[in-house]
Each structure stands twice: as C-alpha cells, then as structure tokens.
Amino acid sequence: MNYNAEEIASIIDGKIIGNPKVKVQSVAKIEDGKKGDLCFLANEKYKNYIYTTKASVIIVNNSLKLDNKIKSTLVVVNDSYSSFSKLLEIYNKMKFNYVGISNYTDIGQNTKFGDNIYIGSFATISKNVKIGNNVKIHPNCYIGENVTIGDNCILFPNVVVYHDCNIGNNTIIHSGAVIGSDGFGFAPNKQNNYKKISQIGNVEIEDDVEIGSNTTIDRATMGSTIIRKGVKLDNLIQIAHNVEVGSNTVIAAQTAIAGSTKIGKRCMVGGQVAISGHLFITDDVKIAGQSGVANSINKKGAILQGPMAFNIKEFQRSYIIFKKLPEIYKVLTSIQKQFNE
C-alpha cells in the first residue's frame, strides 16, 4: 500500500482534517501505530490512543469529538469500521496480486483459462476444467476433472476440489479445505458388514462464499450439496452430503451438519454445534455454541441453546436451577430427615 490521505479519502468518500499529502505504506492497530501507518478508530473505548499514536492517518467516525489536539491526519467518514474494511480488502488484493502459471504446474487437456490468472507451483489442474478471470490458485492445490471456477476466486495452498464441482464468483477457499469428497454413505448387508454407497453427485458453491481452513464439504449421493450465495464458513467445519446452506448464513468452527439437512437464510450457528440429518432449519435462526440440534426448527428468528437445544431463555433459566441443585439437594435431605424423625 502506498497512498496519501487525499487518495484514501477519495476511495472511502471521507473528509480530511490535517495534511492531505501525508503518505501511508502499511496498516496497524491504533495502539501500535507508527509513522507511515494507517489506523482506524471505531470504538470509543480506544479513544485515548488517538492522542498518543504515531500513525500518519487515522480513519474516524464523524461523531468523534476531540478533547485535545492530535498530530495524525484524520479521514472522517460515516462508518470508520466498514471504510477501513474496504481499504483492507484493497490492500489484501494488492498483496496477493500474483499473475502467471508456474512451469511446475500439471495441466490437463481441454482446460480453459480466463484472463489475469495465477497458478502456483505443483498445482494440478485436471482435464476439462474451466477457470474464470482473475483467479488465484496457490501452490499444491488439486482441481479435479470437469470443475468450474468462477471469476475473482482465491484458492490458498493445499485446497482440494474433487471432480464435477462448481465454484461461483468471488469465492475464497482457505488452505486444507476439501470440496466434493465422498459423503458418509454405507449400507449394512446380511453379513453385518457395511457396503459403500457410491456418491455420484457434486458440490455447488454460489457467489461470494468464504470457506475456512480444513473445512470439508461432501459431495451429494445424488444431486448436489449446495452452499448458497454469501455463506461464510469458519475453519474445521464438516458439511455432509446433500446438505443445503441458505444465503448469507454464517457458521463458526467445529460445527458438524449431518446429511440432507436444509439450513435457511441469514442463520448464525455458533462453534461446536452438532446438527442431525434430514432436518429443516428456517430463516434467521441463531444457535449458540456447543448446542445439539435433533429436531427441525420452524420458528423464524428462533434463538436456541443447549446440548439438546431448546429456547435460549428457557435454557438459561434451567441452567440457574441446575447450578443450585447441590443446595436444593441439601434442603431436600434436611426435610426428609425431619420427616423421618
């Protein structure tokens, strides 16, 4: 990054207070800011740092009221957090703006590439693959046969995409993720052994999805496992065969969703949640971390918590009683003793 305050203000539609020509080369937290750094202040809790930081430029909200003079140049906006996020996105794209195909890449027949792509060393691109414009495929990735990857996608090192899967535009997949591995399908036979059921479906990932490191999304037995537009998946998530995750749903780490469950739009799922198979979860549902969901959730906007999740307020009231069980037991024992006497 090499911008001056005036250029930054034009990108985020901000107003400058201070020197419009001061330049920044990097970004930092406001408490660690030094000359040449760009910082932001969104939380009033950190306001005192604005008087001590050595950062060259600070993005602030227009509601900020200064009590003392400051040395930094300010860029005043309506929402400093979202404006800073926009700049970070630009910075990140510049940082990973690699172009070209490594000589150590294995490329199959009938593969079609868009413009301005990057494929790193020791990546494997199988036959009949279609890759869009501005795609970045980092070293050691594997792309199976007949895969389609849309525009502006980033696949970080060691991502695996099995055959016949489709990835939409603007999707980011982090290291170690596996897209399209076989679903967990086995049928017992007369000898009490398990016979594998072939998984002949695929995975469909729509636009603007982000998938965390070491997350696995299984291919469908038949049809598709579907990740809808705008979904954000954390690290270490297991999504089983024929699951559908609705648009703009976010799921935290170590969550597991069993086969054929359908999750609605704009849901929020906490870490280490377990969701049984063949369920329906409607839109705008929130599930607290370490909850277990064994039944469908049909109430829009429901908030659930618990090992066998139920209404969060009822769970919290129950938990208060649970913590008092030793005291309640002591009282009951005393009453029983008096009764016996």
Give the active site residues: 241
For residues 3 and 6, give the distance between their C-alpha atoms in angstroms, rounded to a whole number. Answer: 8
For residues 77 and 69, give the distance between their C-alpha atoms in angstroms, rounded to a whole number. Answer: 19
For residues 20 and 317, give the distance between their C-alpha atoms in angstroms, rounded to a whole number. Answer: 56
Q: Which residues neighbour 43 within 8 Å (Cβ) at sequence distance 6 or greater?
A: none
- H/E segment holding residue 42: none
For residues 266 and 286, give the distance between their C-alpha atoms in angstroms, rounded to a whole number. Answer: 9
For residue 315, what are its two tokens? 């769970």
For residues 290 and 294, give the distance between their C-alpha atoms in angstroms, rounded to a whole number. Answer: 13
Cα dihedral across residues 52, 57, 58, 63: positive or negative: positive
From residue 173, alpha-carbon distances to 43, 132, 341 in Å are 30, 15, 70
Nearest to 167 by CA among 96, 227, 107, 213: 227
List residues bridging with 268 in a β-sheet.
250, 286
Secondary structure E strands in 185-295:
186-188, 194-196, 202-205, 210-211, 216-218, 224-227, 232-233, 238-239, 244-245, 250-251, 256-257, 262-263, 268-269, 274-275, 280-281, 286-287, 292-293
